[in-house]
Structure 1
Amino acid sequence: MLQKLKHFFSIGPVFAYFFRVFTKDKDGKYPHSFNLKMMHGINKISIVMFLICVIIMVTRCASR
């Protein structure tokens, strides 16, 4: 039971995707299509916007 719960809350693949989306696929290991490229582009924009917003929120909270 504990092993299933641990596997359910595993976030390793999520962080792996965050780092993989900003690098080029040199091995040809992942499929290439126009839709996938657009999805990765939108994900890059949303990750950067999220990080900027977190930085702004932390600085506003720290300056109070």
Structure 2
Amino acid sequence: MSEKNKVQEFFKLGEVGNYFIRVFQKPDPNKPSNFNLRMMHGINKISIVMFLIAIIIWVAKRLL
């Protein structure tokens, strides 16, 4: 296995990583949607943003 393939495999997002990216995109108009599903995705967006802010604050405290 070459070095390039090792790096690509290390940074491969997988199913969970793809969800984090997909949750911030516009919903597909061809897929069915209801109120509960929209609220679930909205809460997930809030929790992802809060988690990233917390990680940034934690890293900043450790470095400064």
Task: Give TM-score, length-normalised by structure 1.
Answer: 0.73
State how many pairs are aligned.
52
> Where do 4+ consecutive residues of structure 1 move more than 6 Å?
none
2:17 matched residue in structure 1 = 15
Encode CA deviations 1:5-61: one digit per residue, 9 max, x unaligned: xxxxxx611011111110012352x43010000000000000000000000000000
Instruction: Please give the secondary structure, in 1, of the residue aligned with 2:55.
Output: helix
Q: What runs of 5+ residues in structure 1 fail to find an aligned partner?
A: 1-10
2:40 matched to 1:39?
yes
Percent same amino acid at aligned positions? 58
Q: What runs of 5+ residues in structure 2 fail to find an aligned partner?
A: 1-12
Task: Give TM-score, length-normalised by structure 2.
Answer: 0.73
